[in-house]
Chains A and B, each alone.
Chain A
Amino acid sequence: MANKKIDIDPGEAKEAILGYCRKKGALAAGVADLEALERIAPAGHRPSDLMPRVKSVISLGVGGQTQGAWTLPAKAMSFFGSTEGRAYTIAYGLAFMIERQYLERSVYCPPDIDPELGSRVPLQSIKLHAELAGIGARSLAGDILLHPEFGYMYFASVFTELELEPDKPMETNPCPAPSCTDMYKKIGQTPCMKFCPVQCLSGSISEDGKQADMKYDMAACAEMTQQYETLATVLAGAMNADTDEERSAMLHRPENKTLWYKMSVGSGGLLAQCFECMRVCPIATRAPLADPILRAEAALERGED
């Protein structure tokens, strides 16, 4: 776009951009190494596949739910447990901020599925962006990113033609926590593995307490976290029912009626509704700044209001 160019100090620009993210509520933000992203992401899912002249990928993370949320039943969490909308809002605003302030094309990276590839393949790996930007490390819980201070976050990305200095991935991985290693030594499973409702997680921990391997049955996980995938099966079952009574039961049984409710109110609760691996994760729930209470207590200790 920009016919007019302005002098930009890349260091100052990066500071302003990351400062914007924090001011708007992000707990962490960073810039991913574009060259590494292009090399790691498979063809069709590289940043340049979406934005050909992209020069920088900015990743930001917002905190998960309140501390109180973890005390609620899973069926309540299934409606409101995710907080990713806040991350998307910040990223959306950031793209506008960069264009307005630096006259360089920028875009909120859609976190959605690739419409040509079914329901399980995203356009981009927001996770990879965040990992390379140094704001999360892969856990034994299906590679959900964890942060040593903020625990479990939701991520969003912005692509821009503004060139920014990349950050590095985190130097250490907080997963597994020492208590998880202790449990693994006793029973061969960490809490996330043990309490997964579909047993989609397995793996091993090395003698020095690091992740040796992580196995994730994503298809099984989808049965708990991608309720929208149920819809086609339910509708096909109703259409193919042998009797009117069977058809009626298929459409009106309680768990299926929930689907119609969620669809009619536009509920985000059709995806990412299972939190059982994170509920038992000591990093997600008890990292020093994992929830608003812990962050407020830390601020009070620092003498802030």
Chain B
Amino acid sequence: MAETSFHKAYGVSEDMVTELGDEIFDLSHNKQTRIGDAVREMDWDAIEAGRAGMGLTDGQIAERLELEVEQVTFIRTLVEGQRFHTGHYKRLYKLGGGKRYRPERENE
């Protein structure tokens, strides 16, 4: 993808997107892992320990990667759009009424 006026406005190069895009995406709450049931149990140590797994905010990612928050937001939202498969949605139309999703039926 070529650099745009938006890249310049946020101080982001395409090399930065290539280099950091996946890492920012994976650190964000696009991927979430929760260990146990810490919030319900009000287990403060576990809540703190689990924060990164549940996904970091753009501000927290920026701090970790030494970037500006706006740069992280720009890269994250760009990658979210690039990774979004528009074709998966039609899978829904075949489901329900007693029929459940089966991966093996994908190529039928």
The answer on A and B forming one complex is: yes
Write the residues of chain A forming the contact surface with B, with a CB cutoff of 8 angstroms: 36, 39-40, 42-45, 71-78, 116-121, 128, 131-132, 137-138, 142-143, 169-170, 173, 195-199, 210-220, 222-224, 227, 229-230, 232-234, 255, 273-274, 276, 279-280
- Cα distance A214–B59 when bound, in Å? 24
Chain A residues with CB below 8 A from B84, complex form = 219, 222-223, 229-230, 233
- Cα distance A222–B30 when bound, in Å? 9
Contact B91 A198 (CB under 8 A): yes
- Cα distance A75–B60 when bound, in Å? 39
Closest-by-CB residue of A relative to B101 is: A197
What's the nearest-Cβ distance from chain A to residue B34, in Å? Answer: 5
Q: A132-B39, A173-B37 are known contacts. Are A198 and B47 too (CB-CB below 8 A)?
A: no
- Cα distance A199–B80 when bound, in Å? 18
Contact B33 A214 (CB under 8 A): yes
What's the nearest-Cβ distance from chain A to residue B30, in Å? Answer: 4
Chain B residues with CB below 8 A from A40, complex form = 39, 47
Chain B residues with CB below 8 A from A137, complex form = 37, 40
Contact A218 B30 (CB under 8 A): yes
What's the nearest-Cβ distance from chain B to residue A79, in Å? Answer: 11
Write the residues of chain B forming the contact surface with A, with a CB cutoff of 8 angstroms: 25, 29-37, 39-42, 44, 47, 55, 57-60, 73, 76-77, 80-81, 83-86, 88-97, 100-101, 103
Chain B residues with CB below 8 A from A211, complex form = 34, 36-37
Chain B residues with CB below 8 A from A210, complex form = 36-37
Chain B residues with CB below 8 A from A273, complex form = 92
Contact A118 B39 (CB under 8 A): no
Query: Does more than half of chain A's interface fall in helix, strand or loop, or is it mixed?
Result: mixed
Contact A213 B57 (CB under 8 A): no
Q: A40-B39, A137-B40, A211-B36 are known contacts. Are A255 and B30 too (CB-CB below 8 A)?
A: no
What's the nearest-Cβ distance from chain B to residue A6, in Å? Answer: 34
- Cα distance A132–B39 when bound, in Å? 8
Closest-by-CB residue of B relative to A75 is: B93
Chain B residues with CB below 8 A from A76, complex form = 96
What's the nearest-Cβ distance from chain A to residue B36, in Å? Answer: 7
- Cα distance A150–B106 when bound, in Å? 34
Name the contact of B42 in the complex, choosing from A142, A169, A198, A274 (C-beta under 8 A): A169
Chain A residues with CB below 8 A from B93, complex form = 73-75
Chain A residues with CB below 8 A from B94, complex form = 74
Closest-by-CB residue of A relative to B84 is: A229
Contact B89 A218 (CB under 8 A): no
- Cα distance A220–B104 when bound, in Å? 18
The 3 lowest CB-CB distance pairs between A and B, nearest first, are: A74-B96, A118-B77, A73-B96
Contact A218 B40 (CB under 8 A): no
- Cα distance A131–B73 when bound, in Å? 28
- Cα distance A3–B31 when bound, in Å? 48
Chain B residues with CB below 8 A from A212, complex form = 35-36
- Cα distance A229–B83 when bound, in Å? 11
- Cα distance A195–B105 when bound, in Å? 12
Chain B residues with CB below 8 A from A222, complex form = 84
What's the nearest-Cβ distance from chain B to residue A187, in Å? Answer: 13
What's the nearest-Cβ distance from chain B to residue A82, in Å? Answer: 14
- Cα distance A39–B38 when bound, in Å? 13
Contact A143 B95 (CB under 8 A): no
Greatest chain B CB density within 10 A among A36, A121, A131, A230 is at: A121
- Cα distance A36–B41 when bound, in Å? 12
Contact A117 B73 (CB under 8 A): yes
Contact B40 A138 (CB under 8 A): yes
Contact A223 B34 (CB under 8 A): no
Contact B32 A215 (CB under 8 A): yes
Contact B42 A44 (CB under 8 A): no
Contact B39 A195 (CB under 8 A): no
22 contacts between A and B (CB under 8 A): A44-B57, A73-B95, A74-B94, A74-B96, A117-B73, A117-B77, A137-B40, A169-B41, A173-B40, A195-B100, A210-B37, A211-B36, A212-B36, A213-B35, A213-B36, A223-B85, A224-B92, A230-B89, A233-B81, A276-B92, A276-B95, A276-B96
